[in-house]
Structure 1
Amino acid sequence: MKVNVIIEKDKYGYYAYCPELKGCHSQGDSLEEVLKNIKEAIHLYLETLSPLEREEYLSKEILTTSLEVSIA
């Protein structure tokens, strides 16, 4: 299964969450740590779902991009 993960970095470390799994998020001091932590959080989250819920939650397609904008 593939799950979308958004990772944000700020002065305190890394924060990760899964848009299609509401409430599934984690953090870490490094990119490696946050990836390990979010993978564990996803695994635990998916264990709480029924097979039908898993199929519904993981069938979403989420697209991301970066846009360059100018400020006048």
Structure 2
Amino acid sequence: MKYHFKVHKDGKFYWAQCVELEGCITQGKTLKELNSNMEEALNLYIQEPEDSSELAPLPKQSIRKSKNLVEVPVDPEIAFSFMVRYHRIKKHGMTQNQAARKMGFETLYSYQRLEAKKCNPSLKILSKVKRAFPDFSIDYALGC
């Protein structure tokens, strides 16, 4: 999952703003520092509070890279947990309890770990996610 940042130079410094995520802005003294800060800002933005009903919009597929527009990948563990939550809420309109039951988890907590800040699922869990949400794209979540 990759978002797009427009990069600006202001004197000796750089700053960037995410095109798809309002308020996701960062800066850096060098381009290397700016790149690192863009990744950090993006990951923090995507990691919404667990009790939030608001979700960040998905990246726009139609945006093309240019000299001042760069793609920034979301950390794969964060992207996976975000996409599970996105599919549960936006595409399937389910509660966490409903999703947990559909995936066959014994406890709600086991499901909630999928939506935690960072998630590194096993193949067994990936299989449960795909069965519950057939339209879920692991490649998309991983930015492939």
TM-score normalised by structure 2 residue count: 0.38
> Which runs of at least 4 in structure 1 moved beyond 3 Å after TM superposition?
63-66
For the pair shown, the structure with the greater C-alpha radius of gyration is: 2
Amino acid at match of 2:47: E
Alignment partner of 1:8: what SS? strand
* Counterpart selection for 1:53 from 52, 55, 58: 55
CA distance in 2, matches of 1:31, 1:65: 16
Question: Structure 1: which 5+ residue stretches go unaligned?
Answer: 67-72
> Contact 2:18/2:24 (CA < 8 Å) preserved in 1?
yes
Amino acid at match of 1:27: Q
Question: Structure 2: which 5+ residue stretches go unaligned?
Answer: 68-144
TM-score normalised by structure 1 residue count: 0.71
> Contact 1:18/1:24 (CA < 8 Å) preserved in 2?
yes
Partner of 2:33: 33
Q: Deviations over 1:27-60 (max 9, x none)?
A: 000000011011100000000177x834xx1242
Percent of aligned pairs sharing the same letter: 38
Bigger helix fraction? 2
Amino acid at match of 1:29: K
Amino acid at match of 2:26: S
Alignment partner of 1:6: what SS? strand
Amino acid at match of 2:15: Y
CA RMSD of aligned residues (A): 2.3
Partner of 2:8: 8
Partner of 2:93: none
Note closer, same or farther for the CA distance 1:13–1:59 as it changes in structure 2 (3 Å cut): closer
